[in-house]
Amino acid sequence: MYEGYGLSETSPAASVNQPDFGTRAGTIGHPLWGVDVEIVRADVDDRVELLPTGELGEVVIRGHNVFSGYLGRPEATAEALVDGWFRSGDLGTKDADGFLTIVDRKKDVIIRGGFNVYPREVEEVLMRHPDVAQVAVIGLAHPVHGEEVCAVVVPAPDAAKDPEAVITWSKEHLGRHKYPRRVEFTDALPLGPSMKVLKRELRAQYTA
């Protein structure tokens, strides 16, 4: 089994762990033939500025696999295709050996008190808790910190639904700015057609 990466806009693959280049678990390998994948500054939207090796930024893709645009949505196309590159909206890194790693979705990053919190990292830790069957981590508005970290948990069968216990456990396994201060329990997480968690729905629900 070889881990890879792609989007609908890249028809649908962009990179994969390939035996010819070596494989590395936890990465998405190297770009496919005829495809370029690079890391650029995520906070600059109107142009592409490549970042040095190892730095975290937005994943951009160009090549014969990239779509020509969104049907009937010229503004969305202009935002996605910049300087000949497709801006994926995903955050990642590229190491000295050319291996690419996805960190999280750009729009899902939580900024708590000036510190970036990557939900995927928090979710991977929380999934080790014995009472957690599924979890989605979102940012909710906070008057002091800007955003607060909230974990929406589907509990394991017969698990105790104790938010404080999850929070206390999280403190022991995550940095001070990363652990969730709010834990909500639910029977199921909202999923889209591709079975990805619809975090925008969770944000709307728990903000309300």
Q: What is the pLDDT of residues 106-147, one digit of tens each?
A: 999 999 999 999 999 999 999 999 999 999 999 999 999 999
Three-state secondary structure call for residue 178: coil
Band (194; pLDDT cuts 50, 70, 90): confident
Q: Which residues pair with 104 in a beta bridge?
A: 91
Pairing of strands 4-5, 132-142: unpaired
Contacts 24+ apart (CB under 8 A), 76-80: 79/45, 80/9
Helices 163-173 and 119-126 cross at an angle (nearest 10°) of 110
**pLDDT score, position 208:** 79
pLDDT tens, 174-183? 999 999 999 9
What is the arithmetic mean of pLDDT over 188-198?
94
Domains in the chain and their CATH numbers?
4-105 (2.30.38.10), 109-207 (3.30.300.30)
Q: What mean pLDDT do residues 89-94 have?
A: 98
73-85: pLDDT as tens digits: 999 999 999 999 9
Mean pLDDT, to the nearest integer, of 158-169? 95
CB atoms within 10 A of CB 125: 18
